Amino acid sequence: MRRLIVAITGASGVIYGIRALEMLRDLGDVETHLVMSPSALRTAAAEEVGRGAEEIRALATRVYSHKDIGASIASGSFLCDGMLVAPCSIKTLSGIANCYADDLIVRAADVCLKERRRLVLMVRETPLHAGHIDLMDRATRSGAVIMPPVPSFYTLPRTIAELVDQTVGRALDQFGLRHPAVKRWTEPEPD
């Protein structure tokens, strides 16, 4: 069984993290390890998706407190395929770029980088100033993949859900996880 850490931060776009958990569950052979920031819980419940903490946590195989820097995922001995931060706030990006591991999200990301495991950051901010770009550059030079959730219009999406699924599916591609919802350029639709 494969293992993936999924972190959801308080940036707009918590649906990306939620859909990642749902799509990973669809695949059936991926163990998910979830960490959510307090801001993510607030954004999810009050502002964007109307889902409570328990409903979101139920999507994961294992859930950790963002404060638990002694959790298994905070150690290089925890074997996994990597970590997806969806969405990734600028605050979390800053912590990762500066190795400032004051919570479990940043610590687990730092461990993925030091162990040379895949770390995909779905950075959710626009417009960007030079400081944001510098942080993305620094995280990239440390080994992170910066993957802002930019929609793919070649798929001719009809709904926001289709846009989200395509974007999340492409993020999962970064871990070698292929979800059937992803439409591939010039490839025929599956039967």
Look at residue 38 in the predicted model and tell me its pLDDT. 93
Look at residue 51 in the predicted model and tell me its pLDDT. 81
Those residues of the chain that have pLDDT short of 50 are: none
Helices within 47-143 (DSSP H only): 53-57, 90-97, 104-114, 130-141
**Spatial separation of the C-alpha atoms in residues 157 and 151, rounded to whole Å:** 9
Q: How far is CA 145 from CA 108, 109, 121, in A?
A: 15, 11, 6
Look at residue 7 in the predicted model and tell me its pLDDT. 98
**Residue 166 is inside which H or E element, if any?**
helix 160-173
Domain range 2-173, CATH class: alpha beta
For 176, residues 6+ apart whose C-beta sits below 8 A from its C-beta are 81
Look at residue 185 in the predicted model and tell me its pLDDT. 86
- Compute how many other C-beta atoms are within 10 angstroms of the C-beta atom of residue 153: 9
**Spatial separation of the C-alpha atoms in residues 14 and 42, rounded to whole Å:** 10
Look at residue 101 in the predicted model and tell me its pLDDT. 93
pTM > 0.85: yes
Place of tokens 């010039």: 186
Look at residue 189 in the predicted model and tell me its pLDDT. 65
Place of tokens 């400032």: 100
Look at residue 50 in the predicted model and tell me its pLDDT. 77
Which of these, 72, 70, 66, 36, lies nearest to 53 by C-alpha position?
A: 36
Domain boundaries, the chain: 2-173
